[in-house]
Amino acid sequence: MEGKGISQAVIRRLPRYYRYLGELLEDGVERISSNDLSKRMKVTASQIRQDLNNFGGFGQQGYGYNVKYLHSEIGKILGLDREHNMIIIGAGNLGQALANYTAFERSGFMLKGLFDVNPTLAGVTVRGIEIRMMDELKSFIRNNDIEIAILTIPKTKAVAVANMLVENGIRAIWNFAHTDLNLPEHIVVENVHLSESLMRLSYNVLRYEEKHQKKK
Amino acid sequence: MEGKGISQAVIRRLPRYYRYLGELLEDGVERISSNDLSKRMKVTASQIRQDLNNFGGFGQQGYGYNVKYLHSEIGKILGLDREHNMIIIGAGNLGQALANYTAFERSGFMLKGLFDVNPTLAGVTVRGIEIRMMDELKSFIRNNDIEIAILTIPKTKAVAVANMLVENGIRAIWNFAHTDLNLPEHIVVENVHLSESLMRLSYNVLRYEEKHQKKK
């Protein structure tokens, strides 16, 4: 999915702009030049200008960016100006950890329900949200206008559950299960493969050590 | 950090090759052509050949790849043939969820300790690993040959704790705190910014809907 021809590399960077602009806003900064933003974010000023030009610019030559306006416009591009209803499937440690992230709600991501197969969790609440059993899932999705499902279940169950979610109208899956879901093209999938992230870290440690040893 | 001139895009993909090869190995597959691997992984065969050529190939024309050999070689490239000692700083929900991931240990990532500032957690164990208070941290890092620290603490504390970890010899930080750490070049940082991942998902949902509405 390319959406208006914006590359995924630019999309990767947008939330980081949003974060830095949010921090500037909290600090009471009203305007910032691409040079100053560049120093803070440790990317080149030309990269910043190029990235933001994808969305029509926002800056006036010599005046810098209006922080509040740019923050709000990037928020709109990211869909943060409206509410997204979510459910979590898998109320284990990770599912409960995500359920406790109040920061998501401040960006419009509203957790409406938690689901699990473990009967000892039935009726337990996390931040006031009840853990339900899977037999309630279909009707819950339909009755609560659920857009996003967060999958924090073992990979052996993930594909079947994802297919069932799609059949019941889910638009997007935030997938923490360590497998590829291979869903229809109209379903947005964002994977968080934690062990792959840890392997990249290990790769980079090893390469650094090799480089360093060669220099000795 | 570029290590041997391999691009970060290739490094991003390596753990996925490792996962697919591991699954083939479990299924008893001994050899696979780049075409068959391409169908499974839904990337082009030429991309696979190009990626693996970065590390000297591994395949013989017409014979395909030896699954066990390729899996083991990619494992070595990723540093999975040796042990990495880790600690978690922040034994809240997310820290405890990560502590419960036994899959990390199967790849050589050994969790040695958990640390927190909350005195009610002192002495509590997760999978037999004791939660310790921060005053023990420095000596623990030195005495247990700790290479990787996992940061699951609020962003307001993350920069100070990261600097202290670096002073005490930590080589790499797996950062879940929603801030940039700006550490010296020789420290490897792998960020997992969950809320940014969720924003990319929301961006892609929105773009898909816009595209779809235009077509109507």
Give the closest-approach CA distance of B93 to chain A in angstroms.
5
Give the span between the Cα atoms of A105 and B49, in whole angstroms: 43
pLDDT value of residue B212: 77
Q: Cβ of A205 and B212 within 8 Å?
A: no
Interchain CB contact of B69 with A (< 8 Å): no
CB B41 within 8 A of CB B16: yes
Residue-wise pLDDT tens for chain A (216 aa)?
Answer: 334 567 888 888 999 999 999 999 999 999 999 899 999 999 999 999 889 888 776 766 678 899 999 999 999 999 999 999 999 999 999 999 999 998 899 999 999 999 999 999 999 999 999 999 999 999 999 999 999 999 999 999 999 999 999 999 999 999 999 999 999 999 999 999 999 999 999 999 998 888 877 654
Read off the tokens for B34.
């780049």
Interchain CB contact of B7 with A (< 8 Å): no
Counted residue by residue, chain B has a size of: 216
- What is the set of domains in chain A, with CATH numbers? 8-77 (1.10.10.10), 84-195 (3.40.50.720)
Residues of chain A neighbouring B174 (CB-CB closer than 8 A): 197-198, 201
pLDDT per residue as tens digits for the range B8-46: 888 889 999 999 999 999 999 999 998 999 999 999 999
User: What separation in angstroms does the CA of B10 have from each of A200, B2, B77, B96?
Assistant: 10, 11, 12, 31
pLDDT at B1 over 60: no
Q: Which residue of B has its CA nearest to A211?
A: B3
Does ipTM exceed 0.85?
A: yes
- HEC-encoded secondary structure of chain B: CCCCCCCHHHHHHHHHHHHHHHHHHHCCCCEECHHHHHHHHCCCHHHHHHHHHCCCCCEECCCEEEHHHHHHHHHHHCCCCCCEEEEEECCCHHHHHHHCCHHHHHCCEEEEEEEECCHHHCCCEECCEEEEEHHHHHHHHHHCCCCEEEECCCHHHHHHHHHHHHHCCCCEEEECCCCCCCCCCCCEEEECCHHHHHHHHHHHHHHHHHHHHHHC
Q: How many CB atoms lie within 10 A of CB A207?
A: 19
Interchain CB contact of B73 with A (< 8 Å): no
| B123 marked as part of a ligand binding site | no
Residues of chain B neighbouring A193 (CB-CB closer than 8 A): 15-16
pLDDT per residue as tens digits for the range A133-158: 999 999 999 999 999 999 999 999 99
pLDDT per residue as tens digits for the range B128-143: 999 999 999 999 999 9
Of the candidates A66, A71, A64, which has an alpha carbon nearest to the alpha carbon of residue A36? A64
Please, what is the angle between helix A34-41 and helix A45-53, to 10°? 110
Of the candidates B200, B211, B192, which has an alpha carbon nearest to the alpha carbon of residue A148? B200
pLDDT value of residue A3: 43
pLDDT value of residue A7: 84
- Angle (CA) B126-B149-B76 rounded to 5° is 100
Give the span between the Cα atoms of A145 and A86, in whole angstroms: 9
DSSP code of residue A171? -
- Facing B77 at nearest CB: one of A171, A197, A203: A203
**DSSP H stretches of helix in chain A:** 8-26, 34-41, 45-53, 67-77, 93-99, 102-106, 137-143, 155-167, 194-215
Q: How many CB atoms lie within 10 A of CB A36?
A: 15
pLDDT at B3 over 90: no
pLDDT value of residue B38: 94
Q: Cβ of B199 and A100 within 8 Å?
A: no
- Facing B79 at nearest CB: one of A12, A109, A205: A205
Indicate the SS3 state at residue A162.
Answer: helix
Give the closest-approach CA distance of A89 to chain B in angstroms.
15
Tell how many helices (H) and how many strands (E) occur in chain A.
9, 10
Classify residue A11 by burial, with Cβ atoms within 10 Å: 0-12, 13-18, 19+: buried
pLDDT per residue as tens digits for the range B104-122: 999 999 999 999 999 999 9
pLDDT value of residue A94: 94
Give the closest-approach CA distance of A135 to chain B in angstroms.
26
pLDDT at B207 over 50: yes
Q: Cβ of A93 and B92 within 8 Å?
A: no
User: What separation in angstroms does the CA of B38 have from each of A159, B49, B65, B187?
Assistant: 20, 10, 12, 35
Give the closest-approach CA distance of A214 to chain B in angstroms.
12
Give the span between the Cα atoms of B124 and A108, in whole angstroms: 35
- Among B11, B13, B202, the strongest candidate for a mutation testing the A interface, having the largest count of A CBs within 10 A, is B202
Q: Amino acid letter at B20?
A: Y
Read off the tokens for B115.
């640390």
Q: Cβ of B107 and A11 within 8 Å?
A: no
Give the span between the Cα atoms of B169 and B85, in whole angstroms: 13
